[in-house]
C-alpha cells in the first residue's frame, strides 16, 4: 500500500496483523509443524526476507510455503503459478480470500509475507518484521541441525539499531524515492538513501557482515534491497547516483551473500522485474520490462573472505533447495 500526494513523502501503510505464532501459543496460535502456510511472492523484498530466513533455518517441512505470481491487481496477489490458478493446500485463487476469512471487513493491505492457518484458512499475521524474528526465536525446536543463530542474544541491541536505520533509509528509502509526490520529496529521499549507503560502505569496508562475524538478521534485511537495486531501483525508482555494480564494497558484500547458500538460490530476477515494471503502471505506463541488466556478475569472485568471518558460525550451510522450490535456472544465475 502507498500514499502519494503532491509535496508529500511516500507513506507505507504499516497497519499489520500483529498476532504472533509462538512456542507457548499465547496469542492462540502455537507453533505446530505443518499447521501453517507461509505465503510469499519472490518479487517482494519484504517476503523475500522470510524466504531466506526459512531456508537458512531449515524450516521447509515445518512451515510449507506458497508462492504467488509476480503481478497482482488492486485486489490481491494471485496463485497463478499453480495448476488451475489455485493454491493446492488453501484452495484459494487470491490471497485476499485468506484475509477476508480472518476479517470480512478487512480494509488494509493484502500483503506478503503472510502466514495462514490452514485449518481455518485465515491469515494469522502479515507483520513482516516480526515474522522473521519469530522464525528464529519461536520456531527454534524445528530448526535444522547446524542452523545459524541469526539473532544472537548478545548482539540484538546492535542488530535492532542497524535494522531500524536500514529500514527507514534503505529498504523503505528506495520506495520513498520511487513514489515521491514532488521533486522536493524525491530529492530528500534520494539524499537520505545514498547518505546511508555511504555509511554502510564505510562499515562494510572493514567488516564482512553488518553485525558480528557471522550472518545475522541484519544482513538478510539489507540483502533483499541490494539484490534488487540494479534490476529495478536504479532505473525504475530513479535511485541512479550509481549502480550497485559501480559501488565496490557494497557490490562485493552483496555478491558474497548471493553466493552463500540460502540467499541467491531464493532470488528470482524474472519475477522481480515483472512485478515492478508491470504493476507500477503509474511509473512505467508502457509496461515494458527491461531486458537487462546482465546478471552474470553475481557469480564473480568477491574477495570478502579476506575480512574473516564465517557465514554460519559454528553451523553449516543448508542443504540444496528441494526440487519443488527451485528458482528456474533462466530466472537467476546459480553457482554450478
Catalytic residues: 44, 175
List the one residue out of 130, 190, 195 whose CA is nearest residue 160: 130
CA dist 210 and 164 (Å) reads: 13
CA dist 148 and 257 (Å) reads: 14
What are the respective helix, strand and coil percentages of the chain, to the nearest 5?
A: 40, 10, 50
Beta strands in 72-121 (DSSP E): 114-117
Task: Tell me the DSSP string of 107-118.
Answer: -S---SSEEEET
What residue has cell string 500483503? Answer: 111
Q: Quick check: helix, strand or coil at residue 241? A: coil
Distance of alpha carbon 61 from its chain centroid, rounded? 20
What residue has cell string 564494497? Answer: 249
Task: Tell me the DSSP string of 38-66.
Answer: EEEETT-HHHHHHHHHHHHHT-TTTS-EE
β-sheet bridge partners, residue 40 = 67
Q: Exposure of 24 by Cβ count < 10 A (0-12 exposed, 13-18 middle, 19+ buried)? A: exposed
Q: Which three cell numbers stand for residue 31?
A: 507453533
CB of 299 closer than 8 Å to CB of 333: yes
Amino acid at each position: 500500500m502507498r500514499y502519494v500526494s503532491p509535496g508529500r513523502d511516500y507513506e507505507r501503510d504499516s497497519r499489520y496483523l500483529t498476532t504472533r505464532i509462538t512456542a507457548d501459543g499465547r496469542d492462540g496460535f502455537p507453533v505446530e509443524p505443518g499447521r501453517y502456510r507461509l505465503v510469499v511472492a519472490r518479487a517482494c523484498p519484504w517476503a523475500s526476507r522470510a524466504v531466506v530466513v526459512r531456508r537458512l533455518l531449515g524450516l521447509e517441512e515445518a512451515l510449507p510455503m506458497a508462492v504467488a505470481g509476480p503481478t497482482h491487481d488492486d485486489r490481491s496477489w494471485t496463485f497463478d503459478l499453480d495448476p488451475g490458478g489455485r493454491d493446492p493446500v488453501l484452495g484459494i485463487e487470491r490471497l485476499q480470500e485468506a484475509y477476508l476469512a480472518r476479517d470480512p471487513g478487512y480494509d488494509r493491505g493484502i500483503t506478503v509475507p503472510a502466514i495462514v492457518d490452514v485449518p481455518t484458512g485465515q491469515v494469522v499475521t502479515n507483520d513482516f518484521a516480526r515474522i522473521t524474528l519469530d522464525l528464529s526465536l519461536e520456531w527454534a525446536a524445528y530448526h535444522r541441525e547446524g542452523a545459524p543463530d541469526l539473532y544472537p542474544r548478545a548482539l540484538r541491541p546492535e542488530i535492532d539499531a542497524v535494522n531500524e536505520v536500514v529500514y527507514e533509509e534503505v529498504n523503505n528509502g528506495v520506495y520513498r524515492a520511487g513514489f515521491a509526490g514532488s521533486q522536493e520529496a524525491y530529492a530528500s529521499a534520494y539524499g537520505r538513501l545514498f547518505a546511508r549507503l555511504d555509511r554502510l560502505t564505510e562499515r562494510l569496508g572493514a567488516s564482512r557482515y553488518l553485525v558480528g562475524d557471522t550472518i545475522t538478521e541484519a544482513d538478510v534485511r539489507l540483502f533483499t534491497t541490494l539484490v534488487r537495486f540494479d534490476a529495478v531501483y536504479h532505473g525504475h525508482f530513479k535511485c541512479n547516483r550509481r549502480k550497485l555494480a559501480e559501488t565496490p564494497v557494497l557490490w562485493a558484500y552483496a555478491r558474497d551473500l548471493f553466493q552463500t547458500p540460502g540467499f541467491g538460490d531464493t532470488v528470482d530476477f524474472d519475477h522481480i522485474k515483472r512485478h515492478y515494471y508491470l504493476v507500477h503502471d503509474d511509473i512505467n505506463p508502457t509496461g515494458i520490462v527491461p531486458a537487462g541488466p546482465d546478471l552474470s556478475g553475481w557469480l564473480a569472485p568477491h574477495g570478502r573472505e579476506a575480512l574473516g568471518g564465517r557465514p554460519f558460525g559454528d553451523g553449516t550451510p543448508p542443504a540444496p533447495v528441494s526440487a519443488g522450490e527451485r528458482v528456474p535456472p533462466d530466472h537467476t544465475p546459480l553457482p554450478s
